[in-house]
Chain A
């Protein structure tokens, strides 16, 4: 047996003492849901949305497809923890433990080097946020959702829950009912934000439920690249992260949304992400899933305008005790729309990866095109990979392609590299990194380095 790398090599498994200004009682009932809204002094309409979603959450059954969520206990979670009284825009103004956490993760350093703006969520609230002044001057809004709801209520109201209604699925309902934090971004017409905006999500408490809500509106001809990262301490009990992300890509706009998900292996990660793309707009999801106990996540593109383009690039790694059920959906609703879903997954040491995806092309959209490629790599015989593609093509002249492959680390490739003096472990890392290279090259260099480093750490001790 090879040693398990996850605990030893997970650099973000530390935790700090739990200090908070408010913590809801354990479990979810009406009073907890009401309390969150009360704490935030929300408008009545949002309170109503929460209330309706609360009922939907309890009326919906757990998903009958996909991964078993049998062990997930809603009663053992804390649904709202407010870590500090108010948000700051200078790192040094954060309480020491929180600042130290972000220093160890390296966020302030990254901000200095290559980001346009940073938002940092700790438990349920965004505790730090800053954005370059030049962007604010151009009318860009980058705020946490709670602030946006206070300062731009009409804008939020017009878009909130419009692509992911709370009735969509049980976890969308849960998020809508108890959401807190997350990012709100508005990019005005023809404004291009060259450097990425980053949000960082950190769970510190045990048995924590984190339910951030993100809304991005890219007005006509604009561009934004949003990056999110996430980590948590290792606990013997489970935590839950259940986010909803809604993105509106207006005519000719382009949004790229990059995720490097590295939750500790006691976190359920059940996320609904969807984008609506208008005429000639481009939506790109770059979705890296390395951590968590169970991830179920299928970023979607709804191509509603002619010539809209959607892309999902997905990388998943599953080690011991992990299930990565990931993929993507492309729904073609307008002529000459194009989509591409590329999924690469790696399973080792008993981990399971699944590609689950859907392509739908309605009648009357003419020569629209879609391509799905999913490749799985198995490092050993204990691991497993499955593919669940759904194709619903109603238009005869539309073109849809699907390719899938499952391969094992090839002994001939290992022999070749070792014959060049490279040891087994390094050779395995090189092959795995080569396998995901087509997606990694799409990441900004700093994240590409980080992702490769993480994969390499996961591979340590992988060859006996």
Chain B
């Protein structure tokens, strides 16, 4: 079972609340072992795909998104997260006064509850001094967060600030990746994590994603550019255009797109 989990779309259509269909009859399969990549021009529906996986209530879904052949289309977002799905947002929203560390602490305890034997008492989200971890103490947890923050060259001062509140573009991307590294999901979806990063930051982020993959997390990478893929060689590449999957291939597909663009796929 471990390492072999599967996230799949079976003839899925996704539309907005106002019934504008964005993704049409899509079928896809992501494996935990793989680094999967979804490419496509702007406005093709790539971000909508990530939001549909996480269950953003703004979208309506027809047919099934399955996790290990179990339909999760009707599960609330936090339950999908509990199954092991994680989304690194393209433009994550700021939440003033709710710090990165607080979110990580709360989320870690929620997601790893079974593992660490959390009791049934509700944890106070703000002053959860009653750390419920059995396999890891609160100070070990904080050390772990700081270790990964260091690897990603994140200023540790950011960890106690309101998440994404006044953070730079690069800081936002790194904080999203940091959460994946701490929460260790089964699948992590990165929605254009490479956009707007300089070369050094891009390398740092790519290293982080590789490390996450090594730890056993399935990677789903949404991108416009092959730039990041030279650091993270993909196993499977999908091309999405105008709301449909129009090509599937291996890493060689990336260089074809790089040379000839998306026009070749019609």
Interface residues of B in 191-208 (CB under 8 A from A): none
- Spell out B's residues near A (CB within 8 Å): 54, 56-58, 76-78, 80-82, 86-87, 89, 92-93, 95-98, 102-103, 106-107, 110-111, 122, 124-127, 162, 179, 183
A418 touches B81 (CB 8 A): yes
Within 8 A of B (CB), among A415-434: 415-424, 426, 429-431, 433-434
Q: Which of A186-206 contact B (CB under 8 A)?
A: none
List the 9 shortest-distance A-B pairs measured between CB atoms, nearest first. Answer: A434-B97, A437-B97, A421-B81, A434-B98, A418-B77, A420-B107, A421-B110, A421-B111, A418-B78
Task: Point out the residues of chain A lying under 8 angstroms from B77, CB to CB.
Answer: 415, 418-419
A18 at the interface (CB under 8 A from B): no
- Check B97 against A453 for contact (C-beta < 8 Å): no
Across the interface, B56 reaches (CB within 8 A) one of A415, A434, A449, namely A415
CB neighbours (8 Å) of B111 from chain A are 420-421
> Which of B82, B89, B110 is close to A416, meaning CB atoms less than 8 Å apart?
B89
Name the distance in Å between B186's Cβ and chain A's nearest Cβ: 12
Question: Given that A433-B126, A434-B162, A453-B124 are known contacts, is A422 also in contact with B97, CB under 8 Å in the complex?
Answer: no
**Residue numbers in A under 8 Å from B179 (CB-CB):** 420
Known: A411-B57, A452-B124. Contact between A420 and B183, CB under 8 A? yes
Having A419-B81, A421-B107, A433-B98, one finds 8 other A-B pairs with CB under 8 Å, namely A421-B183, A422-B103, A422-B106, A423-B78, A430-B125, A449-B127, A452-B126, A456-B124
**Given A412-B93, A413-B95, are A430 and B126 neighbors across the interface (CB < 8 Å)?**
yes
Do A433 and B97 touch (CB < 8 A)? yes
- In the complex, how many angstroms separate the beta carbon of B61 from the nearest chain A beta carbon? 15
Contacts of B122 in A (CB 8 A): 426
Interface of A is mostly: helix
**Which residues of A from 444 to 464 have beta carbons under 8 Å from B?**
448-449, 452-453, 456
- Check A431 against B98 for contact (C-beta < 8 Å): yes
Closest A residue, CB atoms, query B85: A419
Instruction: Name A's B-contacting residues (CB within 8 A).
Output: 410-413, 415-424, 426, 429-431, 433-438, 448-449, 452-453, 456
User: How far, in whole Å, are A452 and B106 apart by their CA atoms in the complex?
Assistant: 15
B195 to chain A, nearest CB (A): 18
Least Cβ distance of A189 to chain B in Å? 38
Q: How far is the CB of B27 from chain A (nearest CB, A)?
A: 24
Which residues in B have their C-beta under 8 angstroms from that of A415? Answer: 54, 56-57, 77
Closest CB in chain A relative to B62 CB, distance in Å: 20
The chain B residue sitting closest to A451, CB to CB, is B126
Residues of B within 8 Å of A418, CB to CB, are 76-78, 81
Q: Contacts of A422 on B, CB cut-off 8 Å? A: 78, 103, 106-107, 110, 125
Min CB–CB distance B137 → chain A (angstroms): 21
Give bound CA distance, A381 to B97, whole Å: 24
Q: Which residues of the partner chain A approach B86 to less than 8 Å between Cβ atoms?
A: 419
Contacts of B56 in A (CB 8 A): 415
Q: With A426-B106, A430-B125, A452-B127 as given contacts, are A421 and B97 in contact (CB-CB < 8 Å)?
A: no
CB–CB A421/B89 < 8 A: no
A431 close to B76 (CB less than 8 A): no
Contact assessment for A420 and B125 in the assembled complex, using a CB-CB cutoff below 8 Å: no
CA distance A258 to B57 in the complex (A): 41
Contact A417 B103 (CB under 8 A): yes
In the bound complex, residues from chain A placing their C-beta under 8 Å from that of B57 are 411, 415
B106→A430 contact, CB < 8 A? yes
A contact residues around B125 at 8 Å (CB): 422, 426, 429-430, 433, 456
Give every chain B residue within 8 A of A456 (Cβ-Cβ). Answer: 124-126
Whole-angstrom distance between the Cβ of A156 and the nearest chain B Cβ: 41
**Contact yes or no, B124 A416, CB < 8 A:** no
Most buried by A among B78, B82, B110: B78
Bound Cα distance A410, B97 (Å): 14
Contacts of A412 in B (CB 8 A): 93
The answer to whether B78 and A435 have CB atoms under 8 Å apart is: no
Closest Cβ of chain B to A444, distance in Å, is: 13
Inter-chain CA distance A422–B82, complex, in Å, is 9
Q: A438 with B97: in contact, given A419-B87, A433-B126 (CB under 8 Å)?
A: yes
B253 smallest CB distance to A (angstroms): 29
With most chain B CB atoms within 10 A of its CB, the pick from A416, A431, A436 is A416
A456 to B125, CA, bound (A): 9
Chain B min CB distance to A278 (Å): 35
Q: Is the CB of B126 within 8 A of A410?
A: no
Say how far A32's CB is from chain B's closest CB, in angstroms.
Answer: 46
Residues in chain A near residue B110, CB distance under 8 A:
420-423
- Asked if A417 and B95 sit within 8 Å, CB to CB, the answer is yes
11 residue pairs bridging A and B, Cβ less than 8 Å apart = A410-B93, A411-B57, A415-B54, A416-B89, A419-B86, A421-B78, A421-B183, A430-B126, A431-B98, A452-B124, A452-B126
CA A412 to CA B95, docked complex, whole Å: 10
A431 touches B127 (CB 8 A): no
Chain B positions within 8 Å of A410 at CB level: 93
CA distance A452 to B102 in the complex (A): 14
A421 to B115, CA, bound (A): 15
Most chain-B Cβ atoms within 10 A of its Cβ — which of A410, A413, A415, A452? A415
Closest to B96 in A: A434
**Closest residue of A by beta carbon distance from B113:** A421
What is the minimal beta-carbon distance from B100 to any residue of chain A, in angstroms? Answer: 11
Would A434 and B95 count as touching, CB distance under 8 A?
yes
Q: How far does the alpha carbon of A415 sit from the alpha carbon of B96 in the complex, in Å?
A: 15
Cβ–Cβ contact A424 & B78, under 8 A: yes
Contacts of B81 in A (CB 8 A): 418-421
A417 surroundings in chain B (CB, below 8 A): 95, 98, 103
Task: Name the residue on B nearest A429 (C-beta).
Answer: B125
- Chain B: CB-nearest residue to A449: B127
Q: With A and B bound together, what is the CA distance between A436 and B57 in angstroms? A: 27
Cα distance A411–B93 when bound, in Å? 10
A434 to B127, CA, bound (A): 12
Assess whether A420 is in contact with B98, with CB atoms less than 8 Å apart.
no
Q: Do B126 and A431 touch (CB < 8 A)? A: no
Q: What's the Cα separation between A430 and B107 when bound, in Å?
A: 12
Quick check: B103 and A420 within 8 Å, CB to CB?
yes
